[in-house]
Amino acid sequence: MEKGLVVITGASSGFGKEMARVFHDAGHPLLLIARRTELIEALNLDNVMIRKVDVTDADAFQSSVNEAVAQFGPVDLLINNAGVMLLGNIWNQDPQEWQTMINVNVSGVLNGTRSVIESMIERESGTIINISSIAGFKTFTNHAVYSATKYGVHALSETLRQEISGSNVRVLVLSPGAAETELLSHTSNQKIKDDYVVWKDTMGGYSMDPRHVANAALMMFSLPQEVSIRELVIAPTKQDN
Ligand code: NDP
């Protein structure tokens, strides 16, 4: 049987890049979204559409989905993966950094969801996997706003799941622990970054290969449509919190 279209946001690095590889190898046509599309091109995957889209731009997101649907058919899976983590403390962090996290981590997920959801409900088929975090259900020092956005991802996902469960559409949350991606690199506070590296030393200086998270997403998706792993937490065995 022909495999359905998979849309992955944040496909230029980290989890998204590994997911692109894993779902490509599983035989799916892909719409891969990020701003640094040259990094996606470098993956050299066939049967893909690559679009330079900022997930905070709802119209651009919708247009790219429409274009991919016209070429490959309806969206079978959307992975709302794009995200930013700008660690800091509320009393001294630039509010612009809060806004960036809220825009990308929450509005980006909403924009993606809106671009596929009506069609999924009509077809009574489809899956959305939202990438949250362990910081989406417990708190960590320096993570106040990041955590607020990821708690938000949990909340909007579970609400949507309840609302549309009758239409057979799956809304799943995948919450990773610490992994070896570019995520921390955008934090502007050097002391917080240094402390994070010290914490990572408790795991032997290496956290989790993003490949495992990509495989977990494929596993969640690969179950029959009638069954939902509503939430999955995946973390390095040595992560202490
Ligand atoms: P990376 O920084 O490696 O990847 C983030 C991806 O998001 C990049 O591809 C980036 O692409 C994309 N992105 C960021 N902002 C935008 C935007 N405005 N529009 C479109 N794409 C954007 O980090 P991860 O792979 O770790 O992050 C992926 C997800 O996993 C995030 O939601 C993160 O919160 C979550 N997560 C990560 C954990 C970790 O330890 N690594 C743990 C738990 C959750 P580009 O810059 O090219 O646009």
Per-residue pLDDT for 5 more than 80?
yes
What total number of domains does the chain contain? 1
No. of H helices and E strands in the chain? 8, 7
d(CA 229, CA 219): 10
* Domain contains 177: yes
Residue to substitute in 7, 35, 102 for testing ligand 1 pocket (most ligand atoms within 8 angstroms of CB)? 35
For residue range 121-130, what is the model confidence (pLDDT) as tens digits? 999 999 999 9
* Domain contains 240: no
* Domain contains 48: yes
State the distance from the centre of ligand 1 to the C-alpha of 84, rounded, in angstroms: 5
Residue 1, pLDDT score: 74
Share of the chain above pLDDT 70, in %: 100
* Domain contains 239: no
User: Residue 160 sits in which domain range?
Assistant: 5-234
Among 146, 151, 196, 206, the active-site one is 146
Task: Find out whether the beta carbon of 35 lies less than 6 Å from any atom of ligand 1.
Answer: yes
State the distance from the centre of ligand 1 to the C-alpha of 1, rounded, in angstroms: 32
Cβ atoms of residues 102 and 81 within 8 Å: no
Beta-sheet pairing, 75-80 with 48-52: unpaired
State the distance from the centre of ligand 1 to the C-alpha of 226, rounded, in angstroms: 29
State the distance from the centre of ligand 1 to the C-alpha of 100, rounded, in angstroms: 12
For residue range 175-187, what is the model confidence (pLDDT) as tens digits? 999 999 999 999 9
* Domain contains 130: yes
Cβ atoms of residues 108 and 56 within 8 Å: yes
Task: Find out whether the beta carbon of 231 lies less than 6 Å from any atom of ligand 1.
Answer: no
Task: Find out whether the beta carbon of 14 lies less than 6 Å from any atom of ligand 1.
Answer: yes
* Domain contains 199: yes
* Domain contains 224: yes
Task: Find out whether the beta carbon of 133 lies less than 6 Å from any atom of ligand 1.
Answer: yes
Per-residue pLDDT for 223 more than 90?
yes
* Domain contains 241: no
Q: What are phi and psi of 122, to 5 degrees?
A: -60, -40
Q: Report the SS3 class of residue 49.
A: strand
The domain spanning residue 225 has which CATH number? 3.40.50.720
Q: Which long-range contacts (CB under 8 A, 24 or more apart) does 33-41 make?
A: 33/7, 33/8, 33/9, 33/61, 33/64, 33/82, 34/9, 34/10, 34/82, 36/12, 37/12, 39/12, 39/13, 40/11, 40/12
Task: Find out whether the beta carbon of 127 lies less than 6 Å from any atom of ligand 1.
Answer: no
Task: Find out whether the beta carbon of 214 lies less than 6 Å from any atom of ligand 1.
Answer: no
Q: Quick check: is 146 catalytic?
A: yes
Per-residue pLDDT for 26 more than 90?
yes
